[in-house]
Structure 1
Amino acid sequence: MSKNMLNTNVITQIGIIVKDVEKTSQMFADFFGVDKPEAFWTDAADKAQTEYKGSSTKARARLAFFDMGSLQLELIQPDENPSTWREFLDEKGEGVHHIAFEVKGLFEKIKVLENQNMPLVQKGEFDGGRYAYMDTSHNLKVILELLEID
């Protein structure tokens, strides 16, 4: 068996693209019998340094997180700017966008996956870390998000 490309097999997050994060987060809160999390906008382009398909983008998204034991559920409402989130919503509608793994050595993991024909689609920064979305949909049938926490 070949070596684990990410050096982990623990899924930390499932990301779902939605049209209305407030409405959908209330539905999840009611379903699970928990408080509705506060939604917030991702950082602006100057701080997030977001790149989509190799180019800088002003893309932002409104996010809400549910901590469900060892797994986090992320609801993502994209703005109108080019992003993997916007593309997914426009082409497929609402639904599961990605599964995420926390990794060490994000940029090295990007290269490993790219060498396996799993290209980088989008990357960016956030307070306390960075992320990368890898197009693994051809092989794995879902996008993978790599999260590196400082």
Structure 2
Amino acid sequence: MIPLFRQLHHVCVVVADLDRAVAYYESVGIGPWFDYPKGGAYAEYDVPNAEASAAMRYKCADLDNVQLQLCEPSELDSPQRRFLDEFGEGVYHLGFETPDLARAEELGRGAGLGIVARGRRADGSGFCYFDTRAGAGVTLEVRKTQV
């Protein structure tokens, strides 16, 4: 059995103003920041609103032990936009690396976890956001990094 949530890859914080947030984090010594690498096209892509997903802005900083991601959702309807509107800025999801995304998704479904969004590239890389906010307090994601 592949452990689903063992290797933390990143923490994603939803923010209202990406440039302001990056400036603040830099002022306290966190950075450097880079644009989120969107990667290649997805062979499978099931998200609540593809246009809203494409319009989100991300910045990332690689720390010694984990990546920090900042996400500014557009005004279009998305889970991240709804989170920001309801709760304000804060941790939206925890992303965990997995060696086998298909197996991790299968294990999550087998454990009764619903899926919020998912995407898979031809090489097996991609992501799967589970519907865990009510129980975990945050959305839990599994991902396989594109090689």
Q: Which category describes the TM-score, using the shorter chain as reference length?
A: 0.7 to 0.9
Q: Which amino acid in 1 is paired with 2:57?
A: R
Q: What are the residue-to-residue correspondences of 1:59-138 with 2, within 5 Å?
A: 59-60=53-54, 61-124=56-119, 129-138=125-134
State how many pairs are aligned.
Answer: 141
Q: Distance in 2 between matches of 1:110 and 1:41?
A: 22
Q: For the aligned residues, what is the CA RMSD?
A: 2.7
CA-CA distance at 1:32 after TM superposition: 1.6
- Overall identity of the aligned pairs, in %: 23
- TM value normalised by structure 1: 0.78
- Which residue pairs with 1:30 in the alignment? 27
CA-CA distance at 1:9 after TM superposition: 1.4
**Preserved contact between residue 65 and residue 72 of structure 1 (Cα < 8 Å):** yes
- TM value normalised by structure 2: 0.79
CA-CA distance at 1:130 after TM superposition: 1.2
Are 2:50 and 1:57 equivalent residues in the alignment?
yes
CA gap of 1:134–1:39, structure 2 versus 1, over 3 A, is: same
Tell which has more relative contact order, 1 or 2 (C-alpha 8 A, sep 6+).
2
- Which residue pairs with 2:15 in the alignment? 18
Which has the larger strand fraction? 1
Q: Which amino acid in 2 is paired with 1:19?
A: A
Q: Secondary structure at the match of 2:58?
A: strand
**Preserved contact between residue 22 and residue 39 of structure 1 (Cα < 8 Å):** no
CA-CA distance at 1:82 after TM superposition: 3.1
